[in-house]
A and B are shown apart, each in its own frame.
Chain A
């Protein structure tokens, strides 16, 4: 016989007590795994939605002050487009999207509209690939869109309004804001003449209630040629990862572009940070409550177990068991409970999160094997910590008192 045989037999001697102790660990771990799993994918989804709110950093000429986020590029001041290249080729991480803009007023028929030049994303990617590094090498936790289930599809071109960036745009293509489209009866597929050049309308944009509704978007380099201003832009809109912004992204851009003014759209960044922090805190709160309940339940179970077994412990001591052996006996029992609770809790928690996650959080949830280690480690730590004091009490029992024969 081995010590583990003794522990194993005793575990099943008091089945009701065992069930109580096991359930305390199991339910705690199940809930924690489910919350962690759902929260992870929910945070991804929230971050993805927040990304679509638009840019959260603006790079403007030094002399310009920000009056309106949506008209940040309408001020007549310019700086070199080369700033974009500097950003792309830098080792700054956390820049998800860049959108340089040059806006000039144009007349279409009898209506005055804003022609805005933008640079499609495929041109940044070409630059980044050429540089071998740069803004598209994302840090962990950033660029959630590609990591989220169901997020792999190409976004429609109309998402320019929200994303502030577009994947591809040819030199003779244009996107038309809703007010302009309505006023001039422009439809997708039409051709529109601007400053003597002809543009094919590839999309009319949905209404936003901003100045964007009165814009026509075309390729940046085409607009620069039409304006005759050379390689300049009015502003660069940036979608930065909120965690990186917290970590000093703005200061890094400032150091890289000392001649420019870097502005954070605090409202959007704050929303992103607040939402993520709220989910983290909620998860932590649950974790603390469940750990406390688990520790209390296991400790209660173990104290009761020590009390019921004091005669047995006294007998073992009379037969020559040392205090350390009694201590090991109880801690080994806790280890078994912790391991079993952790493994089963992980399985149940994962099933729960995968099946209920989409209904509760409205996001697809996938199993996270890394949580298995986390669950087993946590449950074992809870069981051992909660058992330590009862085990110490058992090891320190007066064998005479426990034999009750004095």
Chain B
């Protein structure tokens, strides 16, 4: 379903070239639950953003359902993100001045749903993540766990086939982390494809496949002595 072929990405930082992704090959089938682990700065987020059509690789290509993502015009890539891909961020990235229900309505607004459909769908999703009594609360008025659940509801608004989660439990306590991972596992069981970057070994253990990333190089084996889980 989603494929990276020989993708590399390097940045210029203060005159030096920094390699974030080096000749990465990855094939993700429909319904997979893949976890990418690695230390900070190893390139995990780069891989996720590249998969999500947000960051074009310096070399190589990304295929979604057989079509090269970065050969599409920017507006078509935005449409693909809107319709097929859902993002979950470590810092939730909720819009602070919108209520929970309005935050969930944003992707539906971008998909040009009617006001009534937006409200009904957003309320349904917030109830699904256990926030039926927090519809009108703004992010600063909610706990971090509640904020991440709002972000999950927003991610699900357009019913994406692929979920890209970047450190989704990175800012959460263990109990809340477990709730979020349980929820992602439940979505995977329903057929969603999930690619998650994490430090959290308990979260990683829930994935069907773990991939290791070190200095931009991806492998199925843990590099010896490279690092360990938290």
Contacts and interface: CB of A to CB of B under 8 A. Distances in A.
Contact of B107 (A311, A314, A320, A405): A320
B115 interface: yes
B97 A323 contact: no
Interface in B71-113: 74-75, 78-79, 81-83, 87, 89-91, 93, 95-98, 102, 105-111
A12 B78 CA distance: 28
B95 A319 contact: no
Interface string B21-51: 0000000000000000000000001100100
Given A1-B109, A317-B78, A320-B82, A400 B49 contact: yes
A403 B118 contact: no
A306 to B, nearest CB: 15
Nearest to A321: B110
Among B90, B91, B118, B154, chain A packs the most CB atoms within 10 A around the CB of B91
Q: Is the interface of A mostly helix, strand, loop or mixed?
A: helix
A403 B20 contact: no
Contacts of B172: none
A315 interface: yes
Interface string A372-403: 00000000000000000000000000011001
Contact of B110 (A9, A314, A325): A325
B55 interface: yes
B54 interface: yes
Contacts of A318: 52, 54, 81, 87, 93
B123 interface: no
B93 A322 contact: no
Contacts of B109: 1-3, 6
A323 B109 CA distance: 15
A2 B102 CA distance: 10
A403 B102 CA distance: 20
A400 B54 contact: yes
Given A10-B97, A319-B82, A320-B83, 20 more contacts: A1-B102, A3-B109, A5-B102, A6-B98, A314-B93, A319-B87, A320-B79, A320-B81, A320-B107, A320-B111, A321-B78, A323-B75, A324-B75, A400-B55, A403-B89, A405-B91, A406-B11, A406-B45, A406-B49, A406-B55
